[in-house]
Structure 1
Amino acid sequence: MPYQTYKKIALVGATGNLGAVVLQELLASNLFEITVLTRTSGTSTGPPGVKYIKVDFDSFDSLVTALEGQEALVSTVASAAVQAQKLLIDAAVKAGVKRIIPSEFGCDLHNVKTRDLPVYAAKVEIENYLSELAVKGVSYTLVYTGPFLDWGLRNGTFFNFKGRKAELYDGGDQLFSTSRLSTIGKAVRRILTHPPETADRAVWVKDIDVSQKQLLKLAQALTPGEEWEVKEVDTAELEKQAREEIQKKNIGPTTMLNLIRRAIYAPGYGNKFQRVHNSVLGIRGMTEPDLEELVLSIFGTK
């Protein structure tokens, strides 16, 4: 079947940190007819030009009805809802949706070490399911982006700017690929306008490769004369503790987070992308001055 740009797009997770930015990018392009699926208890209004449908996400029939006539489905649901995407995917298949982009947007799960971390079990399950469906003619695209750069800086992923504290994982020297939310939004848009190049595969995008120490140095430059509390943390130990907690069914608030830290910062986990699809997806990326400007824009007036 010949590919063409998808026009009718269903978006799930549009009120989340990433989903809101993806929605803005799709809207700004003026290329798509966008339908946002929301929970029956959620909001049914938003930016002009967007159709909102309230859906029972536990009902196959409700999902099928909402997805009928849609050409592509983009999911940006939070990690806790990743496994629930299976019903959504089944409904999309039944409704005749041509392309599915699941909520991936993170570390490289083609790396065997990362793929083995329990925190990614639900994503791996969805990936395997989509791979099986592709044999039956259902098209999909996985998007690996590394951690969210701007969101991560604002929310303490890399260090605690307000508290002037930092934990350097495995020395803090490992380069990892990272992307801004707006860059991910652009990648999604280009996937929808470049179906042949992105069909039934994973794509990798990034703004820049950076280390935790580099980010910390930029932050410390904005706090001259102030003392930072910096300590080193071994992610191998974090993984060991997390697996023990999972085995004992004693999962705490940081159990899964520590496994994500292992994937982002530990050498050998595919965190520095060796090949990317930036050119196909129209991603310019960032220079070091761009990165300095971003850090300054977030922390410079604090």
Structure 2
Amino acid sequence: MSHAAYKKIALAGATGTLGSVILKELHESGLFEVTVLVRESSVQNFPEGVKVAKVNFESLDSLAEALAGQEALVSALATLAISVQKLLIDAAVKAGVKRIIPSEFGVDLINPKARALPVYAGKVEIQNYLGDLAAKTIISYTLIFNGPFLDSGLARGLFFNFKERKAQLFDGGDQPISVSRLATVGKAVRRVLTHPRETADRAVRVKDIDVSQKQLLELAQKLTPGEKWDVQLVDTAELEREALQQIKENNIGPLTMYNLVRRAIFSPEFGNKFENVHNEVLGIREITTQDLEEIVHSAFVSK
């Protein structure tokens, strides 16, 4: 296996919330030749210097042809497209790609309780598949765990509802959890690609800061002086029980899988506060409390 920094990088999912940030980081670093894989029907424009390969994501030969000559593959495909990754990985093996970074970018799925949740079954399957391939091919892999996205999580109501002044505090809201901004994850991807030896065939964990839901809510309430917030306490164990029952009865609703994600993020049993991180080797500095206040303020102003 080569341990030199990778230069030719293929990126799948480059138009998504995270994928676009990863693309920006890789492209603007000037360290890589980036090729984005897009659907044949795509009319998306990309920055000058970024190569575009239109592919059929359901065709092994189409994907392998696009990946020929690439040294690494980064997948930022959305959760609903995780099933596409197996064929993408097979194509990478066929094309001789050396490193794969699959679409993880969330909770620590080395934690056995998190791995057991049905919402992560597809990701766990991909992890196991990569482990098997690494033992018998030139493929190596890196799993990146970064906790929930701080900035987009605030924007999308993961921690509370800014606009309606509503908050659900999960399991009391006191548990510190490791969170990362999208840009931090983009930087982690870049550093993995320039540090192949240190990151081969393993999981790496990064974070911007450990913060509790209550701390975030207090910062939000400071920005809305005199306004009353509707705060409710929610037991994530109950969310899990209800979700598993819905899955058992084939009565899956719009919140079924999301509630399992909430369980994994906010319950202390799921390893969501990273004790051992790889920030140093990946050149990532944790943010300060003042930085956190500014991030929450930016999310508030955008509402």
Do they fold alike, i.e. is TM over 0.5? yes
Counterpart code for 1:50: V
C-alpha distance after superposition, 1:157-188 (max 9, x if no partner): 10000000000000001111000000000000
- Tell me, in whole angstroms, the C-alpha distance in 2 between the residues paired with 1:293 and 1:57: 40
SS in 2 for 1:135: helix
Aligned to 1:114: 114
TM-score, normalized by length of structure 2? 0.98
- Tell me, in whole angstroms, the C-alpha distance in 2 between the residues paired with 1:129 and 1:8: 23
> 1:101 Cα shift?
0.2
Q: Percent identity between the aligned chains?
A: 67
Aligned to 2:277: 276
> 1:44 Cα shift?
5.0
- Tell me, in whole angstroms, the C-alpha distance in 1 between the residues paired with 2:89 and 2:194: 21
Aligned to 1:209: 210
Aligned to 1:285: 286
C-alpha distance after superposition, 1:110-163 (max 9, x if no partner): 111111111000000000000001101310000000000000001101000000
Aligned to 1:104: 104
C-alpha distance after superposition, 1:19-67 (max 9, x if no partner): 0000000011000000000011112531101011110000011000010
Aligned to 2:16: 16
> 1:83 Cα shift?
2.0
Kept in 2, the 8 Å contact 1:45–1:52? The answer is: no
The 1:31–1:300 alpha-carbon spacing in structure 2 relative to 1, beyond 3 Å, is same
SS in 2 for 1:223: coil
Counterpart code for 1:98: K
Aligned to 1:171: 172
Query: Does residue 59 in structure 1 map to residue 63 in structure 2?
Result: no
- Tell me, in whole angstroms, the C-alpha distance in 1 between the residues paired with 2:5 and 2:192: 9
- Tell me, in whole angstroms, the C-alpha distance in 2 between the residues paired with 1:31 and 1:199: 19
SS in 2 for 1:77: coil
Aligned to 1:69: 69
Give unpaired runs (5+ residues) of structure 2: none
> 1:268 Cα shift?
1.3
C-alpha distance after superposition, 1:183-239 (max 9, x if no partner): 000000000000000000000000000000000000010000000000000000000
Query: Does residue 198 in structure 1 map to residue 199 in structure 2?
Result: yes
C-alpha distance after superposition, 1:56-80 (max 9, x if no partner): 0000110000100000000000000
- Tell me, in whole angstroms, the C-alpha distance in 2 between the residues paired with 1:73 and 1:250: 36
Aligned to 2:144: 143
> 1:287 Cα shift?
1.0
SS in 2 for 1:268: helix
Kept in 2, the 8 Å contact 1:108–1:271? The answer is: yes
Q: Which runs of 4+ in 1 moved over 4 A?
A: none
- Tell me, in whole angstroms, the C-alpha distance in 2 between the residues paired with 1:93 and 1:300: 46
C-alpha distance after superposition, 1:226-259 (max 9, x if no partner): 0000000000000000001111111111000000
- Tell me, in whole angstroms, the C-alpha distance in 2 between the residues paired with 1:161 and 1:288: 20
Counterpart code for 1:8: K
- Tell me, in whole angstroms, the C-alpha distance in 2 between the residues paired with 1:273 and 1:71: 30
Aligned to 2:257: 256
TM-score, normalized by length of structure 1? 0.98
Query: Does residue 49 in structure 1 map to residue 39 in structure 2?
Result: no
Kept in 2, the 8 Å contact 1:64–1:94? The answer is: yes
> 1:104 Cα shift?
0.2
Give unpaired runs (5+ residues) of structure 1: none
Aligned to 1:123: 123
Kept in 2, the 8 Å contact 1:11–1:37? The answer is: yes
Aligned to 1:220: 221
